[in-house]
Structure 1
Amino acid sequence: MCRAAPPGSLGPVIEVREVSKWYGRIQAVDALTFTVRPGRVTGFLGPNGAGKSTTMRMIVGLARPSAGETRVGGRPYEGLTHPLTHVGALLEADALHPGRTASDHLLWLAQSNGIGRTRVRQVLGQLGLDGVARRRVRGFSLGMRQRLGLAAALLGDPPVLLLDEPVNGLDPEGVRWLRQLTRSLAAEGRTVFVSSHLMSEMAITADHLIVIGQGRLLADAPLASFVGDGTSLEDAYLRLQERAR
């Protein structure tokens, strides 16, 4: 298991401040503002095209906001030294070099972030990949690629984690394992930000919800208050999206 985040080392908070993103004439994100705090699993919900992945990409510097700013621990991602030791992200499971082995992929990331070989062996074992460490990524199933992406996110033992649809390709055992992992990481005081389309999974994993629609913030609330008494997360979510439309 990863170590707990050192208190006050990064102040592991994700901040999105009045962020907008345009692609030509299409506005993907519209003046979005929210804060993701440590010690809980924050679910990020919205329909396809709502701007979830774009927002996560802006947080980790893979896309530049057209307006506004994003910060992690009070700093832009681009200003972090050895960023994998501050922020772990799983955004695109297919963003892997097909000719590299699982071990080589993680070693390359580790060397570029000042992380030792021992940690590579640890995350391979933690993710159940030690038996395929020397296999090339091109032969991996979607679930195995997803596990390798999670291994990369955990490699720097970061206090902040962003996971975009992390259960894609995982079997039921893997989904349960990931649920337990995210909750244990949050319990250690880390900031855990997870997007998902699976309402049933978010209902038993998330402590807090941020919901967007058409790039705009629709809700930022604890799960219990968002759902209310006698209402499923799916029903509450669909009603909110319908009102927004």
Structure 2
Amino acid sequence: MIVAEQLTKRYGRTVAVDGLSFAVRPGHVMGFLGPNGAGKSTTMRMMLGLDRPSAGRALIDGRPYDALRHPLRRVGALLEGRSAHPGRRAYHHLLYLARSNGIPARRVGEVLALAGLEGAGRRRAGGFSLGMAQRLGIAAALLGDPPVLLLDEPVNGLDPEGVHWLRALLRGFAAEGRTVLVSSHLMAETALTADRLVVIARGRLVADATVEEFVAGAGTLEEAFLKAVAR
């Protein structure tokens, strides 16, 4: 389970995240929505120990990320698709990550195939299209077969087939009793993929509800979202 407890991040006088509390439970795809600058990426960075909270805490299965042993086995994350060194081959990028977390080398081939990159393992990451780079980032997130996934805008650069593949992957992941938090600006895709939503605006919680509860009376997810963040 992922838990944010009064999570706060300040940069000088600017409050990027303001007392944010919510939980993402196993068996759900939680959509994480908010306008640009709402604090979504900052929140996810704090969950992954990349930014230190000014107050509050973020926990993965009851522990901070930096207290996890072999974290890739516990949490798979995608914050930036083009994270691999451009001169490194896709296979070796994943192999390095695997070795750093005690993951068997055979898993590299498995996640390359799962991400549709089985024929691209020997190619250098710098030559990848945006969609291929995104698939490589997702493959890295899946490397440790983790019970928790945190993905920031994972459909960026994916073609329709890739979007369909990712949707099925996330739903299947949750159906296995795992935990998924995925941010997106694509309302239609979120409505098809997520079963629950956390919505934030100006760093604060606006809604924590099922998709059906949030949309009720508004017509579409987009209309409900625009109304909620305008308050």
Range into which the TM-score falls when normalised by the shorter chain: over 0.9
Q: Does 1:160 align with 2:148?
A: yes
- Find the aligned partners of 2:121 and 2:213 in 1 and give their Cα distance: 44
**Aligned-residue offset at 1:161:** 0.1
Corresponding residue of 1:99: 87
Find the counterpart in structure 1 of residue 51 from structure 2. Answer: 63
**SS class of match (2:132):** helix
Aligned to 2:67: 79
Query: Which secondary structure does the structure 1 equivalent of 2:230 belong to?
Result: helix
Q: Is the 8 A contact 2:218 2:224 kept in 1?
A: no
Q: 1:22 aligns with which of 10, 17, 36?
A: 10
* Number of the residue aligned with 2:130: 142
Partner of 1:227: 215
1:230 to partner: Cα distance: 6.2
RMSD after superposition: 0.8
Moved over 2 A (4+): none
How far the C-alpha of 1:24 sits from its partner, in A, is: 2.0
Give the whole-Å Cα distance in 2 for the aligned partners of 1:74 and 1:233: 32
TM-score (ref. length: structure 1): 0.93
Task: Please list the CA deviations of residues 146-171 of structure 1 after superposition, one character each: whole Å capped at 9, or x if unmatched.
Answer: 00000000000000000100000000
Picking from 174, 178, 188, the partner of 2:166 is 178
Matches within 5 A, 1:45-64: 45-64=33-52
For structure 1, which runs of at least 5 residues remain unmatched after alignment?
Answer: 1-12
Cα deviation, residue 26, structure 1? 1.4
Take 1:25 and 1:139, find their aligned partners in 2: how far apart are those partners? 41
Identity %: 65
Instruction: Tell me by how many angstroms 1:94 deviates.
Output: 1.9
Aligned length: 231
